[in-house]
Amino acid sequence: MNIPLPTIPLSERRVRRLLGAACALSALLALGACGGNNVDIASGQSPDPVALNFAIVYVKRPAPDFTSGTTTQVDPDARELLPVLPGGDLYVRARADSTAPEKNITGGVTGGTGDVRDLSTSYDGKKVVFALRKHIDPNAKLKDPPTWGIWEYNIETDTLRRIITSDTTADAGQDVAPHYLPDGRIIFSSTRQRQSKAILLDEGKPQFDAQDENRNEPAFVLHVMDADGTNIHQVSFNQNHDLDPSVLPDGRIVFTRWDNTGGNDAFTLYTMNPDGSDLELLYGKYSHDTGTVPAGGTVGSTIEFMKPRSRPDGKIVSLIRPYNGTQLGGDMITIDANGFVDNMHPTLANAGAAGPAQHRLTNTDVRTTNGPSPGGRFSSVFPLQDGTNRFLVSWSPCRVRDVTGDVPCTSSNIATLPESQPIYGVWVYNADDFTQQPIFAPQDGFMYTDVVLAQAVPLPPVILDRVPTVNYDPTLAAEAVGIINIGSVYDIDGTDTAPMGIASVRDPAQTTADQRPARFLRIEKAVSLPDRDVRDINNDAFGTTNFMREIVGYAPIEPDGSVRVKIPANIAFALTVLDKNGRRISPRHNNWLQVTVGEELKCNGCHRTNSVPPQPHGRSGLYNAANPGAPTTGAPFPNTDPALFANQGETMAETRTRLNSAALSPSVNVIYNDVWTTPANPANDFAYLYNDATFTTPAPTRIDCITVWQSTCRITINYLQHIQPLWDKLRQTVDPVTGTVLTDHTCTTCHNNRDAAAAVQLPAGQLELTSGPSNDNNLQVTSYRELLFPDNEQELNMGALQDRLVPGPIDPTTGLPTLVPVTVTPSMSAAGANASNRFFSRFVAGASHDGYMSAAELRLVSEWLDLGAQYYNDPFVAPVN
């Protein structure tokens, strides 16, 4: 079935003719060739009465050859922000009408070979801010100057300026995705990483652009600057990209965050205040399977949430598409993020709502998968703020090609032919009746990829940056810390998971300290990695993992599961729950948190990562708190020390730190003092100390941090520096009179392929702990490989070690059994200390190695394994290629 061709204004007819008759007809006929699920082009095509009253600003660029197969430049991955699509420029027309003259605003700056992207209008509709990159030498590196920078065009005065006037300052980072704040400042995404670089100096490292966790390009994170380009400061601290910020009606920032830690790899929506405080998940953690459902399937394709913008009704408009492969386009949806955290998961205030939260703005077959899309695709969507349900969009119809050129998008052609070049034009789309009117179509060889209307809109409220004394204790600013306040680690998605309940575990008369499963909280920090020009780290330096982590410190978990502790401000950190031995009992935390200076970040508890359906993390208002807090004011918690009097509703951590501010500080040591039991029982107290008398190998932290914690303290464990010395350490008891060695528990005495006389021996337990280069990987030592990787069992044969072979499968040629080696299971696992029981079980009371290593030493091994058993956790100690 075909539909009549729409009536198009004369100027548009000329543009269509420039595209060529075949191109124009295939583009338009395709709208009706695939049945009723297609765009309904409105008839009449009278000029739009609202859009005409405002200037229209857009990016026009040469249409890249998407069909050539060279996708690195023509269809860039959304996770890669440095590449350019050469030739993009900013254009303006005084009216949103194809008859209005078009003016190139940036051509004199870009020279026709630079690029422009990420348009955003001021609230009064008089200015447009955007990202621009001047001409780049094709032989230069993408990170080199000229850099992406923030520019502004004043429509009223017809003037163009770069926001940051100094060339030196402008070229200090790559700046994209700007947006005006209600107070006139600009928030944008940048590789400047200003506060993060200052912290690198505090850590004794040189400053560098930290790479994303794919180690592909510098991480773009959010910064704020004044309107004149001064007072630039970083406000988000992700290890990957934070993109496309905009302002919600309540003044908060919504943006796309690339979660790319652990098993994550997704663009999800987050919110925060303009100063970076109160950062939390907003929407979409478990809604990425909501794209196009394949024929015969039930689960949608994977989509990412991009370019979020608020509508007047409070809903969010977002483009959805995969990272690449869809010719810069995708579908457009609205999201009820006020009422939902995921497509089918309402907030607590919206409990009982069935969903879905997402609604497509079109009723056409717009596909978020590679290949032709019958309903075309959108590359830009701008909500009109005029009380209607209309949007200014950049849209390309479906186009496919055969050997003769472009042909109609019939069902059979879509199934068998590849996509042709997109022709993104500018349209007004009405979501009420699913019609769209053309503003102007692309000229021959060009396309429009960003478009905004210079329309005045209501000013959201200004959320002021927090300042010391007014908003928080100035001593927190002096210490460069914030606070995290956890209601209870036993609160899992609003459910009390403590043995016999929180009311039982917090009562010393019912549950002793040793009976509580959760005892310590470990604060872990991402280790930023430089690019290969700064330090070309050999991949073997990571060991069993592909990342590095440090430890900031430890805090005791109070009997009710609560924790309130200082956290270094302006870092990406994660939290881990530990048992009495200082070993991880929670899943590895794979989402980066942050606190700004003086901020107290509160959360009810923890979340499941393996529940069905999965539960979202990190947004307030999803679950009721499981920890009720103190029952009364002015009295202690039941059966606890009366000196620790509580206020009604307080957690034990809140009570303790209110009465003793020193309890807010974490420690690099693992220390437990039972302050709650009455009468006090010193037998419950213990500590694993780096300055313990038994701990004589190098400590993985600064000496001053062992006695007094500071925000710059780090525990950085490198295998050769801190773990291998445990195996080499002399562990002998000697007769004080005769000097005779009575016992020798030095690890490398038995776990060696040579005895004291240098004769060949079979290493005890098939485990060699020597520090020579491994035969399996000469960039790692033998002990590391033996502890963490499968090995072949060996035997001593005529004074030589050889693999032990046993009969295996029958050889079909000879009919005889083959000989195969016997595999030795590793003693340790990078999954963590509690997954390494084959090692630790030797050291428990009554076991074969009881007393060979101290509790403090075993604690070091435990935390190293919990981090991921990295070979190095410091890129400037690790070897380079």
| pLDDT value at residue 321 | 97
Q: How confident is the model at residue 571 (pLDDT cuts 50, 70, 90)?
A: very high
Q: Using one digit for the tens of pLDDT, what is the confidence trace for 517-537?
A: 999 999 999 999 999 999 999
Residue-wise pLDDT for 415-433, tens only, equals: 999 999 899 999 999 999 9
**In the predicted structure, residue 560 carries a pLDDT above the cut 70:** yes
What 315-319 contacts at long range (C-beta under 8 Å, 24+ apart), as own/partner pairs, is 316/254, 316/269, 316/283, 317/361, 317/381, 317/383, 317/391, 318/269, 319/378, 319/379, 319/380, 319/381
Integer CA distances (angstroms), 20 to 16, 406, 609, in order: 7, 10, 54
Quick one: DSSP state of residue 720?
I
For residues 611-634, give the mean pLDDT.
91
Alpha carbon distance 283, 285 (integer Å): 6
Kindly state the DSSP code that residue 109 receives in the 8-state scheme.
H
848 pLDDT above the threshold of 60:
yes
Mean pLDDT of the 49-57 span = 75
Q: What is the fold of 10-453? A: Neuraminidase (2.120.10)
Domain with CATH 2.120.10.30 in the chain: 10-453
Which pLDDT band holds residue 145 (cuts at 50, 70, 90)? Answer: confident
pLDDT band of residue 51 (cuts 50, 70, 90) is low
pTM for the full model? 0.92
- The CA distance from 180 to 309, in Å, is 13
For 855-868, letters b (16+ CB in 10 Å) and e give bbbbbbbbbbbbbb
Does the pLDDT at position 491 exceed 80?
yes
pLDDT band at 43 (very low <50, low <70, confident <90, very high): very low
**Beta partners for 77?**
none
| Single-letter residue type at 413 | N
Q: Does residue 292 have a pLDDT over 50?
A: yes
329: helix, strand or coil:
coil
On the 0-12 / 13-18 / 19+ scale of CB atoms within 10 A, 50 is middle
Give the span between the Cα atoms of 853 and 727, in whole angstroms. Answer: 10
- Answer yes or no: is pLDDT of 38 > 50: no
- Of all residues in the chain, what percent carry a pLDDT higher than 90? 83
Is residue 445 predicted with pLDDT exceeding 90? no
Do 555 and 880 meet the contact criterion of CB atoms below 8 Å apart? no
Least confident of 355-359, 384-388, 590-594, 855-859: 384-388
Beta bridge partners of 300: none
Does the pLDDT of residue 619 top 50, yes or no?
yes
How many percent of the chain have pLDDT more than 70? Answer: 93
Q: Which residues contact 367 (CB under 8 A, 6 or more apart)?
A: 292, 326, 331, 373, 374, 375, 377
Distance from C-alpha of 483 to C-alpha of 471, rounded to nearest angstrom:
14
With 0-12 CB in 10 A as exposed, 13-18 as middle and 19+ as buried, what is 749? middle
Residues 869, 830 contacting (CB under 8 angstroms): yes
The CA distance from 665 to 663, in Å, is 5
Type of residue at 176: V
* pLDDT in the model for residue 110: 95
Q: What is the DSSP letter of 593?
A: B
Q: Which residue has the tokens 């070690």?
A: 801
> What tokens does 597 get?
């200076």
Contact of 521 with 555, CB cutoff 8 Å: yes
Say yes or no to pLDDT of 12 above 50: no
Dihedrals phi, psi of 25, to nearest 5 degrees: -65, -40
DSSP calls for 368-423: -SSS--TT-EEEEEEE--SSSSEEEEEEE---EEETTEEE---HHHHHHS-B----
Nearest to 732 by CA among 720, 719, 753, 750: 750
Please state at what angle helix 10-19 crosses helix 21-29, rounded to 10 degrees. 110
Residue 8 has pLDDT above 50, yes or no: no
d(CA 379, CA 450): 7
- 3-state DSSP assignment of residue 60: strand
At residue 441 the predicted structure's pLDDT band, cuts being 50, 70 and 90, is confident
| pLDDT for the residue numbered 614 | 81
Report the mean per-residue pLDDT for the chain.
91
Q: Residue range 740-757: average pLDDT?
A: 95
pLDDT of residue 52: 65
Q: What is the pLDDT of residue 637?
A: 97
The single residue listed with the structure tokens 């995290």 is 484
The answer to whether residue 2 scores a pLDDT higher than 60 is no
Give the HSE-up count for residue 869: Cα atoms under 13 Å, Cβ half-sphere: 22
| CA dihedral over 469, 473, 477, 482, signed as positive or negative | negative
The Cα 752–Cα 557 span in angstroms is 41
Lowest mean pLDDT segment, chosen from 137-151, 441-455, 545-559, 602-616: 602-616
